[in-house]
Amino acid sequence: FAEGNAAYLEGDFDAAVASYLEVAEVWTSFELEYNLGVAHYKSGRIGPSILHFERAKRILPSDDDLHANLLLARAAIVDRIEEMPEIALAPLWRELTAAHRLWTWTFGSLVLWLMAFALLFLRMTSQDLTIRRSLAIVAPILGIVALFMGFMGRQTDLRSKSNDGAVIMAPRIEVLSSPSNSSESSKLFVIHEGTVVQILRTEGLWHQVRLANGNTGWVESESLTSI
């Protein structure tokens, strides 16, 4: 990672990318994905740049520098796709289920479960009626909160492992009506490198994808990379 940073500061962005990718084979982090995105952008590779910015966004979606650089990279995309309106609470949900919150949800749930069981044990052994009544209220509340935090931890884990998002890597790709290059499959529209899509399903070497504007179609799997 340090070698990649040194190469980046020297302006050798290709060497920086190579060093960062070696690190990425072992572990990942927001800083690593963000640096990869910037280095690719400096080298003029828009598709890989957006891919790594999107991966960084899954880890820390509220970072201001990330948003600024992602906007710069998106400005270089050929396609201008108008996104469909999203649910008002969607940004909040993305923030709450960001990858960096997994440890918080998991550890918090474990601690609250231990506290709830400790209070239940104290209630069973206490001779004071007032304390027993109080603990009978507090312990279940802690259990409910622990359940909620466990649920959020599970959702965060599932989201971090989800591979339904992808970035088009081919300079230009025709989106087809069916998973085939035969004459029976008609061309629906064309998309270009850097466009973010959602993978709906897979058939062989083909993915059915959906764009941000709701349009769907089939593309060859080699034309995109999962976020």
pLDDT per residue as tens digits for the range 8-39: 999 999 999 999 999 999 989 999 999 999 99
Take residue 130 and report the two structure tokens written for it. 């007032």
Average pLDDT over residues 89-110: 89
pLDDT confidence tier of residue 144, bands split at 50, 70 and 90: very high
User: Rounded distance, CA 48 to CA 170, Å?
Assistant: 11
User: Rounded distance, CA 227 to CA 163, Å?
Assistant: 6
Q: List strands edge to edge, sheet with 224-226.
A: 187-192, 172-176, 216-220, 206-210, 196-203, 165-168, 224-226
User: Rounded distance, CA 145 to CA 141, Å?
Assistant: 6
**Percent residues over pLDDT 90 in the chain:** 72
- Confidence (pLDDT) at 127: 86
User: Rounded distance, CA 106 to CA 93, Å?
Assistant: 17
Average pLDDT over residues 99-124: 93
- Confidence (pLDDT) at 151: 96
